[in-house]
Chains A and B, each alone.
Chain A
Amino acid sequence: MSRPYLLSAPALALFGALLVAPLAMTFVLSLNSFDFYEGISSTFSLANYAEVLGDAYFYEIFGRTFAIALVTTAFCALLGTPLAYFLMRMNPFPRSIMVLIVLGPLLISVVVRTLGWAILLGNRGVINTFLLDWGLIERPIRMMYTSGGIVVALTHVFVPFMVLAVWAALQRQDSATEAAAESLGAGPLTVFRRIVLPQAMPGILSGPLICFSLAASAFATPALLGGRRVKVVATTVHDEFLNTLNWPLGAAISMLLLVSILTVMITWNRYVETRVGRAYA
């Protein structure tokens, strides 16, 4: 009877000590106050939250972060969904090559991929040099240290998750259903709209959620491509912790990030459940 508990006890112990306790302590930390001379003192107040929620500076950072995450998610969904569909219809050999190309980058460090985008997007980077050489532009387009540059790089980083989500949904479908619809006289468009799309729906709806939550909390890419000019929540938290050393304020900002992402996730999941539930009812 106690067997499952015994088996999971070691993992639970690790998570209790190194995940649950630290997160609880971070919450407590966010209630503490910070003084430049005296450091962290263990008073309890919502002052840090009031500071973040009452300051236009932080609104701008949160707003920018979620705007970047939203646009990135839209790009991931729009680019990744068709690719997953085309992947399904490929011959085994080209498909395995394409899978390596699309999923392989997931296994390469985000820092390395971001370096690649810095080389491409810089003022004297590959894209600007190309456009200048061909006379298409007269002055370099500013892409580094802009939200747009961050969006492009983040799309590259997270689009494989979208492809995976849709692909996983499509793989569960029975390929005979397409043939059956065709034999009953459905045209390609009808087959796509009535057979393929509904079956891909769980992936099309779950993929963006993954992309959004990852993009909203991304750190390395905005830090390297945005620098100090384009700050997002994650880089602000990093600064508060490692430069300003105002840990309580950093903890409060990160708690707000956590809560807002969880709220989006729970709301979206509810929506997806009712939506997909209705579609299959």
Chain B
Amino acid sequence: MRHNGVLANLYCILFAVFMLAPIVVVIGVSFTPTGFLEFPPSGLSLRWFRAILDNPDFIDAAILSLQLAAASATISTVLAVPAALAIGQGKFPGREALLALLMSPLMVPTVVLGIAFLRFLTLIGLSGSFTGLMLCHAVVVMPFVLRLVLASIVGLDRSVDRAAISLGATDWAVFRRITLPSILPGIVGGWVLAFITSFDEVTVTIFIVNPSTTTLPVRLFSYIAQTTDPLVASVSTMAILFTVVLMLVVDRLYGLDRLLIGEGKR
């Protein structure tokens, strides 16, 4: 193992400052006692956190975002696992095309996805509905689940499957007792990443929400676009806090780098 020199360490510190600066100022501003965005805050006050309670719009949006993220991550995972089994375990005509299609939401600009969803949902009468949002988000987050589940399937030892089948196990029993337990970390990791992606999604969502189904990022976006008082900072701080807790749990359980690189092994 080789180590970095002084300059390299300095570079890392400066890089860390760059990455943390915008997040630190948002958190700092949210504790300000004044009525405008001020950093460093001239005092410490929880005034703007109390203000969240007086703005049910933000709380409703947060609850909707949580429900939406949980629902779309679940749908996406339920559909991605069998597809990943097909792609990861077999060679069949159209396999590459199927994989490319399911990963394509990463390639198509989100703004294009947004208007395509809007056009379609308007025509079938689901525009602005929770069902519409949920299905669209399921499409958007699918690549994240698929990549992680696939990574965990690729490393599987198929001889265990064959042994079980030779002993009379059905396909379902093989899946439930052998495959599922061994790919479970990938599935859980994929679900969490899908959940976070859906929870934070703004560009696609902004096109397909209506005032009664506005998600937290969209609500924050419109609020910042019109006015900026420290309320947006305190709401943001709560969202950061939520993400950090989720992140630490994932890092302990699964490894943040593994989750984001999407590789089965380190």
Question: Which positions in A face B, CB cutoff 8 Å?
Answer: 3-5, 7-8, 10-12, 14-15, 18-23, 25-26, 29, 79, 82-83, 86, 89-91, 96, 98-120, 122, 126, 153, 156, 159-160, 164, 167-168, 171, 175, 178, 213, 216-217, 219-220, 223-224, 233-234, 237-238, 241-242, 247, 250-251, 254-255, 257-258, 261-262, 265
How many whole Å from B83's CB to the nearest CB in chain A? 4
Given A83-B12, A105-B23, A126-B25, does the pair A112, B207 have CB atoms closer than 8 Å? no
Contact of B111 with A238 in the complex, beta carbons under 8 Å: yes
Which of B101, B111, B256 has the largest number of chain A CB atoms within 10 A?
Answer: B111
A contact residues around B203 at 8 Å (CB): 219-220, 234
Q: C-beta contact mask, B68-103 vs A, less than 8 Å → 1, else 0?
A: 000000010011101101110010100100100110
Given A111-B202, A164-B261, does the pair A100, B119 have CB atoms closer than 8 Å? no
B112 at the interface (CB under 8 A from A): yes
How many whole Å from B129's CB to the nearest CB in chain A? 13
How far is A111 from B202 in the complex, measured between Cα atoms in Å?
8
How far is A167 from B260 in the complex, measured between Cα atoms in Å?
11
B142 at the interface (CB under 8 A from A): yes
Contact of A115 with B105 in the complex, beta carbons under 8 Å: no
Partner-contacting stretch, out of B49-57, B158-166, B183-191, B216-224:
B216-224
Contact of B119 with A156 in the complex, beta carbons under 8 Å: no
B110 at the interface (CB under 8 A from A): yes
Q: C-beta contact mask, B1-35 vs A, less than 8 Å → 1, else 0?
A: 11110001101100110111111111001000000
Contact of A18 with B21 in the complex, beta carbons under 8 Å: no
Partner of B112 from the list A91, A113, A217 (CB cut-off 8 Å) is A217
Question: Which positions in B face A, CB cutoff 8 Å?
Answer: 1-4, 8-9, 11-12, 15-16, 18-26, 29, 37, 39, 75, 78-80, 82-83, 85-87, 90, 92, 95, 98, 101-102, 104-105, 107-113, 115-120, 123, 135-136, 138-139, 142, 196, 199-200, 202-203, 206-207, 216-217, 220-221, 224-225, 228, 232-233, 236, 239-240, 243-244, 246-247, 251, 256-257, 260-261, 263, 266
Contact of A23 with B116 in the complex, beta carbons under 8 Å: yes
How many whole Å from B222's CB to the nearest CB in chain A? 10
Contact of A102 with B26 in the complex, beta carbons under 8 Å: no
How many whole Å from B85's CB to the nearest CB in chain A? 6
Given A8-B83, A8-B86, A101-B20, 19 new contacts (CB under 8 A): A4-B95, A11-B142, A14-B139, A22-B120, A23-B112, A105-B23, A107-B246, A107-B247, A111-B217, A112-B23, A112-B236, A112-B239, A116-B26, A118-B228, A119-B29, A213-B107, A223-B221, A238-B207, A258-B108
Partner of A86 from the list B11, B105, B246 (CB cut-off 8 Å) is B11
Contact of A250 with B117 in the complex, beta carbons under 8 Å: no
Closest CB pairs A-B (n = 5): A116-B22, A217-B109, A4-B86, A22-B116, A22-B120
B contact residues around A224 at 8 Å (CB): 221, 224-225
Contact of B115 with A26 in the complex, beta carbons under 8 Å: yes
B contact residues around A159 at 8 Å (CB): 19
Partner of B12 from the list A98, A104, A109, A251 (CB cut-off 8 Å) is A98
Contact of B22 with A113 in the complex, beta carbons under 8 Å: yes
How far is A162 from B3 in the complex, measured between Cα atoms in Å?
22
B contact residues around A12 at 8 Å (CB): 83, 98, 101
How far is A103 from B247 in the complex, measured between Cα atoms in Å?
10
Partner of B25 from the list A14, A120, A175 (CB cut-off 8 Å) is A120
How far is A98 from B120 in the complex, measured between Cα atoms in Å?
43
How far is A3 from B24 in the complex, measured between Cα atoms in Å?
51
Chain B binding surface SS class = helix
Contact of B232 with A102 in the complex, beta carbons under 8 Å: no
Contact of A86 with B12 in the complex, beta carbons under 8 Å: yes
A contact residues around B9 at 8 Å (CB): 86
How far is A25 from B117 in the complex, measured between Cα atoms in Å?
10
Partner of A167 from the list B142, B224, B261 (CB cut-off 8 Å) is B261
How far is A207 from B94 in the complex, measured between Cα atoms in Å?
28
Partner of A217 from the list B83, B110, B236 (CB cut-off 8 Å) is B110
How far is A91 from B2 in the complex, measured between Cα atoms in Å?
9
Partner of B83 from the list A11, A241, A265 (CB cut-off 8 Å) is A11
Contact of A18 with B85 in the complex, beta carbons under 8 Å: no
How far is A116 from B232 in the complex, measured between Cα atoms in Å?
11
How far is A91 from B80 in the complex, measured between Cα atoms in Å?
36
Given A3-B86, A83-B11, does the pair A105, B19 have CB atoms closer than 8 Å? yes
Which of B4, B9, B116, B120 has the largest number of chain A CB atoms within 10 A?
Answer: B116
A contact residues around B256 at 8 Å (CB): 99-100, 103-104
Instruction: Look across to chain A and name the residue whose beta carbon is closest to the beta carbon of B124.
Output: A17
Contact of A90 with B220 in the complex, beta carbons under 8 Å: no
Contact of A29 with B119 in the complex, beta carbons under 8 Å: yes
Contact of A220 with B240 in the complex, beta carbons under 8 Å: no
Contact of A254 with B111 in the complex, beta carbons under 8 Å: yes
Can you offer 30 A-B residue contacts whose CB atoms are under 8 A? A4-B95, A7-B82, A19-B116, A26-B115, A26-B119, A83-B15, A100-B247, A103-B257, A105-B19, A108-B200, A109-B220, A110-B200, A115-B236, A116-B23, A116-B26, A118-B224, A119-B22, A164-B260, A167-B261, A213-B107, A219-B202, A220-B202, A224-B221, A224-B224, A234-B111, A241-B115, A242-B207, A250-B115, A255-B112, A262-B107
